[in-house]
């Protein structure tokens, strides 16, 4: 008598609602927008939504790492405003010697990235080395950066030289095959961020640090270095987002970057990253960014709700997302 063995088959498991929820919400928004306005799904409108969301998206990718590692940064919007003002001042000052051309644009980009890196390192140092709460440090730096850009602009607006602005505009408005540079840069940042988060040792260290820093420490994870790198990376990404933003308007003021931190944090939480740390996913953050951008776009294209309530809607979304996370954790 011969034994007949049946091959082992894996049972199919439906993805959890934490995975499907943001995707379903994105699809529902697309359907609602298409029904409410015939131009919603036009190529021009979709491209405009993606280009405008690229700034927040680039920052939100960095915020994903910070929150996953158990941190928080409330200063990104004010930091972006300060970096934009600093870029404009440096480029205008160098104009007589360098003239309008690629070198002066590269100087502005270098200024933005270095300023972002130093700002991120400063936040990270105060949090990790001095042990100050991230909320306090970044709340304080938010006020400092906002005051600095207001001081630099003397209460008004810092404007890029007209000729320089015309030369710099293609960085935002041009691209490849009809895809603008902000969208391309955003896509590259997402791909790199997703690879680092899901396939590298550093991504695992971020999750371990955010989950339980004491256990992570005993598991030979350098907790302080992990968090410091996350803040430094976020600062660099704020600089890159600012590089993409400045050619759009060619100016900076105290109102630049207002509520960017709210949008970035909301996108991260909507995407499924746990606010208290320990788990994060970059692709979910991208969906969160698109959801927020589509909500704002629908409000602008319709008279259903005033677009001035966009910030209120984002605040409500953050609260609901955190409540759902707590309920899911309790159920587990």
* Within-domain flag for 291: no
Average pLDDT over residues 87-98: 95
**Exposed, middle or buried by CB within 10 Å (0-12, 13-18, 19+), for 139?**
middle
Q: What is the pLDDT of residues 122-136, one digit of tens each?
A: 999 999 999 999 999
> Which stretch of 97-101, 252-256, 311-315 has the lowest confidence by average pLDDT?
311-315
Lowest mean pLDDT among 66-70, 108-112, 205-209, 290-294: 290-294
In percent, the amount of the chain with pLDDT more than 90 equals 62
- pLDDT at position 332 is 53
Return all residues near 70 (Cβ < 8 A) that are at least 6 apart.
209, 210, 211, 213, 227, 276, 277, 278
Pick the more confident residue, 317 or 332: 317
Both tokens assigned to 55: 């700034």
Q: pLDDT: is 124 or 314 the higher one?
A: 124
Q: Tell whether 92 is covered by a domain.
A: yes
In a domain, 200, yes or no: yes
Instruction: Evaluate whether residue 164 is within a structural domain.
Output: yes
Measured CA angle at 34 (ends 29, 39), to 5 deg:
125
The reported pLDDT for the residue numbered 299 is 80
pLDDT tens for 4-57 read: 454 555 555 656 666 677 888 888 888 988 888 888 888 888 888 899 899 999
Top-confidence residue, 289 or 309: 289
**Could you report the per-residue pLDDT of 295-305, keeping only the tens digit for each?**
888 888 777 77
How far is residue 240 from each of residues 115, 116, 189, 190, 272, measured CA to CA in Å? 11, 8, 10, 13, 24
Q: Which own/partner contact pairs does 226-230 have at CB distance under 8 Å and 24+ positions apart?
A: 226/69, 226/202, 227/66, 227/69, 227/70, 227/71, 227/124, 227/127, 227/128, 228/121, 228/124, 228/125, 228/128, 229/124, 229/202, 230/62, 230/65, 230/66, 230/68, 230/69, 230/71, 230/124, 230/206
Q: Give me the residues paired with residue 157 across strands.
A: 253
Residue 95, C-beta contacts closer than 8 angstroms, at least 6 positions apart = 104, 161, 164
Q: In the predicted model, is pLDDT for residue 310 greater than 80?
A: no
Asked whether residue 26 is assigned to any structural domain, the reply reads no
Examine the pLDDT at 88 and tell me if it is beyond 80. Answer: yes
Q: Determine, yes or no, domain membership for 316.
A: no
- Position 308 pLDDT exceeds 90: no
Confidence band of 315 (pLDDT split at 50, 70, 90): confident
**Over the stretch 219-244, which tens digit does the pLDDT of each residue have?**
899 999 999 999 999 999 999 999 99
**SS3 category, 251:** strand
Residue 265: inside a domain: no
Beta-carbon contacts of residue 44 (< 8 Å; ≥ 6 apart): none
The total of structural domains in the chain comes to: 1
Query: How many angstroms separate the first and last alpha carbons of the chain?
Result: 47
Domain membership of residue 201 as a residue range: 44-257+274-279
More confident residue, 325 or 130: 130
Q: Which residues pair with 175 in a beta bridge?
A: 180
For residue 142, being part of any structural domain is answered with yes
Q: How many Å apart are CA 97 and CA 331, to the nearest integer?
A: 64
Q: Please, are residues 246 and 265 in contact by the beta-carbon 8 Å criterion?
A: no
Closest by CA position to 317, among listed 266, 271, 279, 247: 266
* Residue matched to tokens 């972002």: 116
Kindly report, residue by residue over 140-198, the tens digit of the pLDDT. Answer: 999 999 999 999 999 899 999 999 999 999 999 898 988 999 999 999 999 999 999 99
Is it the case that residue 324 has pLDDT exceeding 80?
Answer: no
Report which of 120, 106, 28, 107 is spatially closest to residue 69, judged by C-alpha positions. Answer: 120
Give the pLDDT band (50/70/90) at residue 1: very low
- C-alpha–C-alpha distance, residues 77 and 218, integer Å: 35
CA distance 168 to 187: 21
The pLDDT of residue 327 is 58
User: CB–CB of 278/271 below 8 Å?
Assistant: no
Checking if the pLDDT of 323 tops 90, the result is no
Average model confidence (pLDDT) across the chain:
88
Structural contact between residues 294 and 306, judged by C-beta atoms closer than 8 angstroms: no
pTM for this one?
Answer: 0.90
**What radius of gyration do the chain's Cα atoms show?**
22
Contacts (Cβ under 8 Å, ≥6 apart) of 150: 253, 254
Distance separating alpha carbons of residues 114 and 232, to the nearest angstrom = 10
């Amino acid at each position: 008598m011969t034994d007949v063995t049946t091959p082992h088959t894996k049972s199919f498991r439906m993805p959890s609602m934490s995975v499907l929820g943001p995707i379903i919400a994105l699809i529902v928004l697309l359907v609602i927008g298409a029904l409410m306005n015939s131009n919603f799904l036009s190529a021009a409108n979709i491209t405009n939504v993606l280009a405008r969301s690229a700034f927040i998206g680039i920052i939100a990718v960095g915020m994903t790492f910070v929150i996953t590692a158990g941190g928080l940064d409330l200063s990104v919007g004010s930091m972006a405003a300060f970096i934009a003002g600093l870029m404009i001042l440096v480029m205008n000052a160098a104009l007589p010697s360098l003239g309008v051309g690629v070198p002066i644009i590269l100087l502005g980009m270098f200024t933005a990235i270095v300023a972002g890196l130093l700002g991120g390192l400063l936040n990270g140092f105060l949090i990790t080395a001095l042990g100050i709460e991230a909320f306090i440090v970044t709340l304080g730096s938010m006020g400092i950066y906002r005051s600095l850009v207001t001081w630099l602009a003397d209460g008004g607006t810092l404007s890029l030289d007209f000729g320089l602005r015309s030369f710099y505009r293609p960085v935002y408005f041009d691209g490849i095959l009809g895809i603008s540079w902000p969208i391309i840069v955003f896509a590259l940042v997402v791909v790199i961020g997703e690879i680092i988060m899901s396939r590298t040792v550093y991504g695992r260290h971020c999750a371990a640090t955010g989950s339980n820093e004491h256990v992570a420490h005993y598991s030979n994870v350098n907790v302080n270095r992990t968090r410091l790198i996350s803040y430094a990376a976020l600062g660099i990404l704020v600089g890159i987002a600012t590089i993409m933003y400045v050619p759009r308007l060619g100016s900076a003021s105290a109102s630049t970057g207002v509520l960017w931190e709210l949008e970035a944090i909301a996108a991260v939480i909507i995407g499924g990253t746990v606010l208290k740390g320990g788990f994060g996913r970059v692709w979910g953050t991208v969906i969160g960014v698109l959801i927020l951008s589509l909500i704002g776009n629908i409000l602008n294209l319709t008279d259903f709700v005033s677009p001035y309530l966009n910030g209120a809607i984002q605040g409500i979304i953050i609260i609901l997302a955190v409540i759902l996370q707590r309920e899911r954790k309790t159920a587990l």
